Amino acid sequence: MAEHLKGIAASDGVAVAKAYLLVQPDLSFNKKTGADVEKEKSRLDEALTKSQDELEKIKAHAEESIGVEEAQVFEAHIMILGDPDFIGAIKQEIEDKKENAEAALSDISNNFIATFEAMQDNDYMKERAADIRDVTKRVMSHLLGVTLPNPSLINEEVVILAKDLAPSDTAQLNRKYVKAFVTDVGGRTAHSAIMARSLEIPAVVGTDRATSLAQSAGDVKIAVNGVTGDVIIDPTAAEIAQFEKAGKDFIQQKEEWAKLKDESTITADGKHFTLAANIGTPKDLQGVLANGAEAIGLYRTEFLYMDSSELPTEDAQFEAYREVLEGMNGKQVVVRTMDIGGDKHLPYLPLPEEENPFLGYRAIRISLDRQEIFRTQLRALIRASYYGKLGIMFPMIATVNEFKKAKAIFQEEFDQLKASGTPVSDDIEVGMMVEIPASAVLADKFAKVADFFSIGTNDLIQYTMAADRGNDRVSYLYQPYNPAILRLVKNVIDSAHKEGKWVGMCGEAAGDPIMDCILLGMGLDEYSMSATSVLKIRSLMKRIDTSKVVELAEKAITESVTNEDNIQLVKKYIDLD
Ligand SMILES: C=C(OP(=O)(O)O)C(=O)O
Ligand SMILES: [Mg+2]
């Protein structure tokens, strides 16, 4: 009998296929004491080596199928295998307690996980706990000689059902055969959900009971709608037909969007706006070009620093920047100088422990303090400017003096390079992120000194609403359409335009259809989002008459009181379906 479930829609698309239960093997073991210490340590080493080989393969596969940025998680796993604190503690445990390797691994891993999970408000640490759990499972399987499920071997069309999918499982999914996946736990921002979106596999997560229902149903089909979050276990013929039609409609819509790839973004009344993409590494260029983005509005350079075991050299940075500038073939590339700190750590750049790192020593604050790091990055950027159309922006600017200082350092490096005969571009734009309320309020003053603004809503909302962007318990305060946020945004746009400067947005909100209806009405010039959202937003903008949304934007900041008011308001003006 058909069972209907509702979960969290995590990745768009609709599919019906045979159920494939991804069951984890039994990893239970007997604890032994009085073990041969040297033998247990060498068993551990052997399991670590096998795990490393396996992870290298999974990482290479993931880089191919889902992209370098997403595959980073496996680099983190490989690093755990070589982490002297973690591995050293396991070996010490074997020595101290004369335990078998399985018991020592399990004890130490549980200690680490408990410590990280206790830091409840820290997403970064919670992710580390998940990583350690994933790595421990792999090492344990090698110690026990059992095989972990290998979803990359699936060779028929299936819908995967699992309690949860570890990142290493998701990375092995082959799009050709895995038509969708459904999990019992997880949320929209879980690793597995983010990966599903990169892979473009429909997914519904957090269904609670999908695996137990499927297990008792036996060999059945599963219907999944990743747009609405609906899942049916053992659907009727009529339901299958209904889901198959929804799937066809969705594919057709995507094909329609794809036709817009080479068009520029012109509204129904003939106004042009720039749709740009956010990237993390040069490898992301492929997606930017495939989705017809008109520029890169945010190149997050942190990955250059995070992927390296020491500060990246000027030449290494230059190569990366040049590759992106050349790849964009004259279209603008806005590179953000490093935004380390907050929840982004570099093992080789020890920062002081802080009670409240999001309000602490991060981004431009580090760059102005550790100028050797900043100047190296600026020189690499200035040298690369010769190969395309470069914009540079500084993150987390709070005061006009910070901007002026950063700009002066840029100018010194520029003048020196130019005097030395290095080929450079003479029209590099130097702008700033507006992501701290102080700079949004004082935008009229900043607009006199910056060449452009890019509004970072991820942080601007966090700081304006005093709500940690990674904390589930306050996620209801993450309100991009709240009139308080919109008034700040409007002030930034108007202030920039008064000085003849352009203004973009590169936070997640820029790829949100509801937000974009309001932003068009406010006259925002550039919208920078994940590459996979570009065509959908272009299709929306082509339908909009901007004279209509000007009135909408005005009402959104004068009449509306709440975030919800503005959702309803936009729906009154624009048919979003
Ligand atoms: C784009 C932004 O920067 P990040 O998400 O990297 O902090 C932002 O804060 O909106
Ligand atoms: Mg930010």
pLDDT in tens, 126-142: 677 888 988 999 999 99
- pLDDT at residue 169, rounded to an integer: 76
pLDDT-based confidence at 188, cuts 50/70/90? low
Q: How high does pLDDT run on average in the chain?
A: 91
Instruction: Find the mean pLDDT for residues 473-498.
Output: 95
- pLDDT at residue 461, rounded to an integer: 95
Q: Is 336 labelled a binding residue?
A: yes
- Which residues neighbour 558 within 8 Å (Cβ) at sequence distance 6 or greater? none
In tens, the pLDDT along 252-263 reads: 988 999 999 999
| Ligand 2 midpoint to CA 435 (Å) | 6
Say how many C-beta atoms besides its own lie within 10 A of residue 174's C-beta. 15
- pLDDT at residue 106, rounded to an integer: 95
Q: Is 469 labelled a binding residue?
A: yes
Closest CA to 528 of 301, 297, 331: 297
Q: Which residue has the higher pLDDT, 455 or 184?
A: 455
CB contact at 8 A, 486 and 463: no
DSSP 8-state symbol, 499: T
Q: Which two tokens stand for residue 348?
A: 């080789």
Can you list the positions of beta strands (E) in 350-448? 389-394, 429-434
CA separation (Å) from 172 to 5, 25, 496? Answer: 26, 17, 46
In tens, the pLDDT along 60-84 reads: 877 876 677 777 888 889 999 999 9
- pLDDT at residue 337, rounded to an integer: 98
Q: Of 33-37, 124-128, 480-484, 553-557, give the lowest mean pLDDT range.
A: 124-128
Q: Which two tokens stand for residue 86?
A: 């973690």
- Which residues neighbour 330 within 8 Å (Cβ) at sequence distance 6 or greater? 388, 389
- Nearest alpha carbon, ligand 1 atom 1: 507
Q: State the number of CA atoms in the 13 A half-sphere of 32 facing the CB.
A: 10
In tens, the pLDDT along 204-215 reads: 988 989 998 988
pLDDT-based confidence at 468, cuts 50/70/90? confident
Say whether pLDDT at 226 is over 60: yes
Instruction: Find the mean pLDDT for residues 113-138.
Output: 77
Residue 43, SS3?
helix
- Which of 104-118, 304-318, 509-523 has the largest mean confidence? 509-523
Q: Is 435 labelled a binding residue?
A: yes
From the CA of 462, give the closest atom in ligand 1: 9
Percent of the chain with pLDDT over 90: 68
- Tell me if residue 517 is catalytic: no
CB contact at 8 A, 133 and 126: no
Closest CA to 428 of 387, 473, 478: 387
- pLDDT at residue 219, rounded to an integer: 86
Angle at 203 between CA 199 and CA 209, to 5 degrees: 145
Any ligand 1 atom below 6 A from CB of 174: no
ipTM: 0.99
| Ligand 1 midpoint to CA 395 (Å) | 8
- Nearest alpha carbon, ligand 1 atom 3: 456
Model pTM? 0.73
- pLDDT at residue 284, rounded to an integer: 83
Sort 332 into a burial class: Cβ within 10 Å, 0-12 / 13-18 / 19+: buried
Among 191, 272, 345, 497, the active-site one is 191
DSSP 8-state symbol, 344: B
Closest CA to 95 of 147, 149, 33: 33
- pLDDT at residue 189, rounded to an integer: 56
In tens, the pLDDT along 320-344 reads: 999 999 999 999 999 999 999 877 7
Distance CA 86, CA 65 (A): 30
- pLDDT at residue 357, rounded to an integer: 87
In tens, the pLDDT along 148-180 reads: 877 777 789 999 999 888 766 776 788 889 999
The residue to which tokens 């003006």 are assigned: 573
- pLDDT at residue 466, rounded to an integer: 96
Any ligand 1 atom below 6 A from CB of 302: no
Say how many C-beta atoms besides its own lie within 10 A of residue 305's C-beta. 20
Distance CA 242, CA 334 (A): 44
- Tell me if residue 4 is catalytic: no
CA separation (Å) from 61 to 76, 229, 253, 392? Answer: 16, 28, 29, 33
Instruction: Find the mean pLDDT for residues 539-565.
Output: 97
Instruction: Find the mean pLDDT for residues 247-270.
Output: 93
DSSP 8-state symbol, 14: E
Q: Which of 124, 300, 503 to mutate to test the pocket of ligand 1 (most atoms within 8 A of CB)?
A: 300
Q: Which of 458, 488, 492 to mutate to test the pocket of ligand 1 (most atoms within 8 A of CB)?
A: 458
CB contact at 8 A, 505 and 481: no
| Ligand 2 midpoint to CA 339 (Å) | 8
- pLDDT at residue 63, rounded to an integer: 80
Say whether pLDDT at 181 is over 80: yes
pLDDT-based confidence at 196, cuts 50/70/90? confident
Sign of CA dihedral 497, 499, 504, 505: negative
- Which of 16-30, 272-286, 350-364, 453-467 has the largest mean confidence? 453-467
- Which of 103-107, 286-290, 466-470 has the largest mean confidence? 103-107
For residue 455, give the H/E element and its range: strand 452-455
For residue 279, give the H/E element and its range: strand 274-279
pLDDT-based confidence at 24, cuts 50/70/90? confident
